Amino acid sequence: MAPDNRVALCPGTFDPVTYGHLDVIARASAMYDKVIVAVVNLPWRKGGTVFSTEERIGFVRNATSDLPNIEVEPFRGLLVAFALERGAMAIVKGLRAISDFEYELEMNQLNRRQAPDVESVYLMASAKYSFLSSSGVKELATFGGDITDLVPHEVAGALQERLGR
Ligand code: PNS
């Protein structure tokens, strides 16, 4: 499908989705007519995920149900191939720190070599979420830290159930 400049992808593992991800998704949904949240579905992924693909998709769907132009879909394989398949012209990602920048610069070069017509767009993380990561939230949950203002209520409950000691 030819890339459509009204359609964007927001990719990620979302294990689990955080308010930082949701902030980027909501901002992207105000910029594009349609935003497809692309959830990695690789059961053999190194280290595995705490939540299954279906659970991760469910959390994102529930947390974005008030945004009419969001679709949530699993994907595996090359991100740019999925973007082309869905007709998305932009890949929208959040950037928090210099460390994100280095990683994203490399990904950007690789992705552009594969598909020069798919543009990547980076939104600076909102200040209150600039420290927030799924791995940090999982660590907090494992040791009984308070995660109620970092992830949706449903996700906090599921994390405490699965990881809490
Ligand atoms: O939430 P994450 O784990 O930081 O998301 C990383 C993601 C899914 C955006 C990245 O791993 C990715 O793009 N994976 C798809 C494979 C791919 O296309 N890689 C880039 C070229 S090697």
User: Does the predicted model carry a pTM greater than 0.85?
Assistant: yes
| Structural domain contains residue 145 | no
Q: Would you state the pLDDT for residue 126?
A: 96
Helix residue spans in 13-143 (DSSP H):
19-31, 53-63, 79-86, 98-114, 134-142
User: Cα separation of 49 and 138, whole Å?
Assistant: 11
Classified as helix, coil or strand, 149 is coil
Nearest to 120 by CA among 129, 109, 130, 131: 109
Ligand 1, atom 22, lies closest to the CA of 110
| Structural domain contains residue 55 | yes
Rounded to a whole number, what is the distance in angstroms from the first to the last CA of the chain? 48
Our count of domains for the chain comes to 1
Mutating to test ligand 1, I would choose from 25, 40, 96 the residue with most ligand atoms within 8 A of its C-beta, which is: 40
At residue 153, φ and ψ (nearest 5 deg) are: -50, -45
114, two tokens: 């594969």
Q: Which residues contact residue 159 at a Cβ distance below 8 angstroms, ignoring those fewer than 6 apart?
A: 16, 50, 137, 138, 141, 147, 151
Task: Find the 111 Cα to ligand 1 centroid distance in Å.
Answer: 10
Q: Would you state the pLDDT for residue 106?
A: 97
| Structural domain contains residue 141 | no
Ligand 1 neighbours, Cβ below 6 Å, are 11-13, 40, 78-79, 107, 110-111
| Structural domain contains residue 76 | yes
Q: Would you state the pLDDT for residue 44?
A: 66
Residue 38 sits in a domain whose CATH number is: 3.40.50.620
Ligand 1, atom 2, lies closest to the CA of 12
Task: Find the 78 Cα to ligand 1 centroid distance in Å.
Answer: 8
Per-residue pLDDT in tens (0 to 9) along the chain, 165 residues = 778 889 999 999 999 999 999 999 999 999 999 999 999 998 666 678 999 999 999 999 999 999 999 999 999 999 999 999 999 999 999 999 888 999 999 999 999 999 999 999 999 999 999 999 999 999 999 999 999 999 999 999 999 999 987
